Structure 1
Amino acid sequence: MQAWVIGNWKQNPATSHDVKALLDDLLTAVSTKAQLDGCQLMVAPSLIHLTAVSERIKGSSILSAAQDISAHSASIGAYTGDCSAQQIADAGATWTILGHSERRQYHQESHDCLLQKMTHALTQNLGVIFCIGETQAQYDAKQTLAVIDAQLSVITDLLTQQPELMAGLSERLIVAYEPVWAIGTGKVPTVAEVSATHQHIKQTLASFNTALENMTVLYGGSVNADNADSFAADSMIDGALVGGASLKAESFLAIAQAFSRATAQ
Structure 2
Amino acid sequence: MSGSAITPWVVGNWKMNPMRADAKQLVQELKQLLQDHVIDESQCHIGVAPISLALSNVQAQLSAGNRTVYTVAQDLSRIAGTGAYTGEISAELLKDSGIDFVLVGHSERREIFGDSPAIVNEKVKNAIDAGLTVIYCVGESLEQRENGQAEQTVLQQICDIASVVQADQWERVVVAYEPIWAIGTGKTASPADAQAMHAKIREGLSQITPMGQSMAILYGGSVKPENAVELAACPDINGALVGGASLNAESFYKIAHAFANTK
Structure-1-length-normalised TM-score:
0.93
Q: Is the CA contact 2:170–2:209 (under 8 Å) kept in the aligned structure 1?
A: no
Q: Is the CA contact 2:48–2:70 (under 8 Å) kept in the aligned structure 1?
A: yes
Which of 3, 6, 9 aligns to 2:8? It is 3
| Structure 2: runs of 5+ lacking an equivalent | 1-5
Larger deviation, residues 24-33 vs 208-217: 208-217
Q: Is the CA contact 2:199–2:236 (under 8 Å) kept in the aligned structure 1?
A: yes
Alignment of 1:93-112 (within 5 A): 93-112=99-118
Alignment of 1:45-56 (within 5 A): 45-56=50-61
Alignment of 1:90-239 (within 5 A): 90-159=96-165, 163=166, 166-170=167-171, 172-239=172-239
Which amino acid is 2:49 matched to? A
Distance (whole Å) between structure 1 residues aligned to residue 77 and residue 177 of structure 2:
22
1:13 aligned partner:
18
Which amino acid is 2:259 matched to? F
Q: Is the CA contact 2:100–2:132 (under 8 Å) kept in the aligned structure 1?
A: yes
Q: Is the CA contact 1:54–1:91 (under 8 Å) kept in the aligned structure 2?
A: no
Distance (whole Å) between structure 2 residues aligned to residue 186 and residue 82 of structure 1:
32
2:77 corresponds to 1:70: yes
Q: Is the CA contact 2:174–2:217 (under 8 Å) kept in the aligned structure 1?
A: yes
Q: Is the CA contact 2:50–2:72 (under 8 Å) kept in the aligned structure 1?
A: yes
Larger deviation, residues 90-99 vs 27-36: 27-36
Distance (whole Å) between structure 2 residues aligned to residue 47 and residue 92 of structure 1:
13
Which of 22, 27, 32 aligns to 1:23? It is 27
1:254 aligned partner:
254
Task: Tell me the CA shift for residue 18 of structure 1.
Answer: 1.2
3-state SS, counterpart of residue 71 of structure 2: strand
Distance (whole Å) between structure 2 residues aligned to residue 34 and residue 58 of structure 1:
16
2:68 aligned partner:
61
Distance (whole Å) between structure 2 residues aligned to residue 39 and residue 250 of structure 1:
16
Alignment of 1:28-39 (within 5 A): 28-36=32-40, 37-39=42-44
3-state SS, counterpart of residue 131 of structure 2: coil
Question: How many pairs align?
Answer: 255
Structure 1 residues 85 and 35, CA gap change in structure 2 (3 angstroms): closer
Task: Tell me the CA shift for residue 28 of structure 1.
Answer: 0.6
Task: Tell me the CA shift for residue 168 of structure 1.
Answer: 4.7
Distance (whole Å) between structure 1 residues aligned to residue 211 and residue 34 of structure 2:
33
1:169-226 deviations in Å (ceiling 9; x for gaps):
22x1100000000001011111110001000000100101223332110000000011
Which of 21, 42, 57 aligns to 2:47? It is 42
Distance (whole Å) between structure 2 residues aligned to residue 181 and residue 155 of structure 1:
23
| Structure 1: runs of 5+ lacking an equivalent | none
Task: Tell me the CA shift for residue 34 of structure 1.
Answer: 3.5
Distance (whole Å) between structure 2 residues aligned to residue 42 and residue 208 of structure 1:
27
1:130-157 deviations in Å (ceiling 9; x for gaps):
0000011111111101101221122211
Task: Tell me the CA shift for residue 260 of structure 1.
Answer: 0.7
- Percent identical among aligned pairs is 38
Structure-2-length-normalised TM-score:
0.94
Which amino acid is 2:32 matched to? T
1:79 aligned partner:
85
Distance (whole Å) between structure 2 residues aligned to residue 227 and residue 212 of structure 1:
26
Q: Is the CA contact 1:50–1:66 (under 8 Å) kept in the aligned structure 2?
A: yes
Cα RMSD, aligned residues only: 1.2
Q: Is the CA contact 2:128–2:169 (under 8 Å) kept in the aligned structure 1?
A: no
Distance (whole Å) between structure 2 residues aligned to residue 34 and residue 118 of structure 1:
33
Distance (whole Å) between structure 2 residues aligned to residue 39 and residue 213 of structure 1:
18
